[in-house]
Amino acid sequence: MSVLTDLIYGGSNAVAGLTEGAVKDAIAEFGADKAAIFPDTAYFCPTIYAATGVKVKTLGDLPACVDVLKSLITNQEDLGQALNAGLATAVGAEILELLKYVKNPAPYENEAGIGFVSDAIIRSLGVPLVTGDIPGVAVVLGKADNAEDLVSIVKEYQDKGLLTFLIGDVIDQAAAGGVKMGLDFRVIPLGHDVTAVIHVVTVAIRAALIFGNVQPGDLAGLLKYTKERVPAFVNTFGAIDSVVVSAGAGAIALGFPVIVDIDLGENQVPGALVSVTDHAHTVAESLNLRNIKVKAKAVSLPVSFAAAFEGEIIRKKDTYAEFWSEKNTTCELVSTKKKDEVEDHKITIDGPDIPENSDGITYMALATVIDVYGERMQADFESVIERKIHAWLNYIEGVMHTGQRNLFRIRISRDSFERGLRLKHFGEVLYSMIMDEFASVVDKCQVTLVTDPVKAKKVLDEEAMPRYNARDARLESLTDESVDQFYTCILCQSFAPSHCCVVTPERLGLCGAVSWLDAKATYELSPNGPSQPISKTGCIDERLGAYESVNEIVKDATHGALERVTLYSIMEDPMTSCGCFECICGIFPEANGLVIVNREYTGMTPTGMTFGELASMTGGGVQTPGFMGHGRHFISSKKFAAAEGGIERIVWMPKELKDSVAARLNKTAKELFGTDNFTDMICDETIATDSEGVLAFLTEKNHPALGMEPIM
Binding site for ligand SF4 (CB under 6 A): 127, 489-492, 501, 503, 509-511, 513-514, 578, 580
Regarding 591 and contact with Zn ion (CB under 5 A), the answer is: no
Closer of 580 and 596 to Zn ion (Cβ): 580
174 binds, among Zn ion, ligand SF4, none (CB under 5 to 8 A by kind): none
Regarding 126 and contact with Zn ion (CB under 5 A), the answer is: yes
Amino acid at position 264, single letter: L
Q: Which residues pair with residue 118 across a beta bridge?
A: none
682 binds, among Zn ion, ligand SF4, none (CB under 5 to 8 A by kind): none
248 binds, among Zn ion, ligand SF4, none (CB under 5 to 8 A by kind): none
The CB-of-237 to ligand SF4 minimum distance in angstroms stands at 35
Regarding 125 and contact with Zn ion (CB under 5 A), the answer is: no
Count of residues making up the chain: 712
Q: Which stretch binds Zn ion (CB under 5 A): 8-16, 121-129, 302-310, 676-684?
A: 121-129
Of 580, 597, 586, residue with least CA distance to 210? 580
Residues 147-186 that bind Zn ion (CB under 5 A): none
509 binds, among ligand SF4, Zn ion, none (CB under 5 to 8 A by kind): ligand SF4
Regarding 512 and contact with Zn ion (CB under 5 A), the answer is: no
The CB-of-631 to Zn ion minimum distance in angstroms stands at 11
Closer of 197 and 500 to ligand SF4 (Cβ): 500
Regarding 492 and contact with Zn ion (CB under 5 A), the answer is: yes
Distance, CA of 679 to CA of 659 (rounded, Å):
8
Amino acid at position 456, single letter: A
Closer of 130 and 365 to ligand SF4 (Cβ): 130
The CB-of-598 to ligand SF4 minimum distance in angstroms stands at 15
Of 382, 320, 326, 370, residue with least CA distance to 345? 370
Closer of 42 and 234 to Zn ion (Cβ): 42
Size of the site for Zn ion (CB under 5 A): 4
Distance, CA of 587 to CA of 593 (rounded, Å):
6
Cβ atoms 346, 432 nearer than 8 A = no
Distance, CA of 140 to CA of 20 (rounded, Å):
28
Cβ atoms 507, 499 nearer than 8 A = no
Cβ atoms 213, 622 nearer than 8 A = yes
501 binds, among Zn ion, ligand SF4, none (CB under 5 to 8 A by kind): ligand SF4
Cβ atoms 232, 140 nearer than 8 A = no
Distance of CA 444 to the CA centre of its chain: 33
In three-state form (DSSP H/G/I as H, E/B as E, the rest C), the secondary structure along 462-521 is HHHHHHHHHHHHHHHHCCCCCCCEEEEECHHHHCCCCCCEEEECCECCCCCCCCHHHHHH
Distance, CA of 184 to CA of 307 (rounded, Å):
10
Distance, CA of 351 to CA of 323 (rounded, Å):
14
Interface residue with Zn ion among 36, 134, 580, 665 (CB under 5 A) is 580
The CB-of-212 to Zn ion minimum distance in angstroms stands at 12
Amino acid at position 675, single letter: T
514 binds, among ligand SF4, Zn ion, none (CB under 5 to 8 A by kind): ligand SF4
Regarding 509 and contact with Zn ion (CB under 5 A), the answer is: no
The CB-of-489 to Zn ion minimum distance in angstroms stands at 9
In this chain, which residue has its C-beta nearest to ligand SF4? 509
Tell how strand 533-535 and strand 485-489 pair up.
antiparallel
Distance, CA of 283 to CA of 60 (rounded, Å):
44
Give Cβ neighbours of residue 275 (< 8 Å, ≥ 6 apart). 259, 260, 261, 262, 263, 264, 265, 268
Closer of 107 and 529 to ligand SF4 (Cβ): 529
The CB-of-241 to ligand SF4 minimum distance in angstroms stands at 42
Torsion sign, CA atoms 601, 603, 607, 613: positive
Distance of CA 612 to the CA centre of its chain: 15
4 binds, among ligand SF4, Zn ion, none (CB under 5 to 8 A by kind): none
Closer of 448 and 532 to ligand SF4 (Cβ): 532
The CB-of-580 to ligand SF4 minimum distance in angstroms stands at 6
Closer of 183 and 513 to Zn ion (Cβ): 513
Q: Which residues pair with residue 371 across a beta bridge?
A: 335, 446
181 binds, among ligand SF4, Zn ion, none (CB under 5 to 8 A by kind): none
The CB-of-580 to Zn ion minimum distance in angstroms stands at 3
Regarding 59 and contact with Zn ion (CB under 5 A), the answer is: no
Closer of 126 and 255 to ligand SF4 (Cβ): 126
In the complex, which residues of this chain contact Zn ion (CB under 5 A)?
126, 492, 578, 580
